[in-house]
Chains A and B, each alone.
Chain A
Amino acid sequence: MTTLMYAKGTCAMGIQVLLEEAGVAYELKKADFSKGEQHTPEFRAVNPKGKVPALVRDDGSVLTEYGAIAMWLAMTNPDKKLVPTDPEALARVIEALDFAVGTLHMLSWRMFRRPDAYSDSDDEQAKLKVRGKEAVEKGLAIANEQLAGKDWICGDYSIADSALYYVEFWVSEVAKWPLPANVQAHYERMKQRPAVQVSRKEEGAA
């Protein structure tokens, strides 16, 4: 059985989308981050990085890092065409996924959402929230350009869309900021997908 180490509201929701898209049988193992469960010895025994997502595969081996898990699911389920095989198209998918995970999420959203991770002072945290929001908006503007005339960020549906989706989720459902037009359309399209609907139900989102 494939187990996805999961926590509500995290980027692990994107991997659940991909598990659903791939049609893989899986279970969720949920950690409560508000209780710091990712720091327990039990959790660290599975993933020393203390993070989600982590995928425990059938053979017991653990895969970490969003991009790697996404690529593995795509490569092991080639009939679902979740990544292109052509090197140029594949490079574009990795580029888009990395931008969403590395820049939109880890650098920008994180600064807005977790200013306490960087500073203990109230006024500094307020500044970080402003800069984080600006960085997210700048990143989404770039994604917006890339989406022009396309349904999916790289043309055909791919793992990159799942990463952009979870950022859209955070911006819409958590921060409640508007998304630029093409990004909003992408978000709406994602919400139509049965795989995404399963994830949204898990997340308690409409």
Chain B
Amino acid sequence: MIHPDVKEESVSANLLRAIFSMRVKNWPNGMLIKVFVLADEDHLHHDFSKDKLNVFPYQLRQVWDRLVFSGTGQAPTKVSSSDEMLVKVVNTPGAVGYIETAYINDNIHILQIK
């Protein structure tokens, strides 16, 4: 799911992986991407990493740590619950995150994965 200002309907799996790997930093319209994730050990994070991004959570952690501690990138923002995820993504321009289907309502903009 994304913040409505991003104005993207869909995204390729490849671009989505690059976004969550923190390599791509801007949406096609130039807006800065703000990535929100749950904790490494969270089940939804685990499933999202494996099923949607096709990488293991430990690989994402290694990628983020390499970026942060070499200064060549930044880490995503960690949220502690799905409720917080919802609030952050809806209120932060440029935000992208993931959420369980049970939380989906009309206020949320869903990004389709091509």
Our verdict on whether A and B bind, yes or no, reads: no
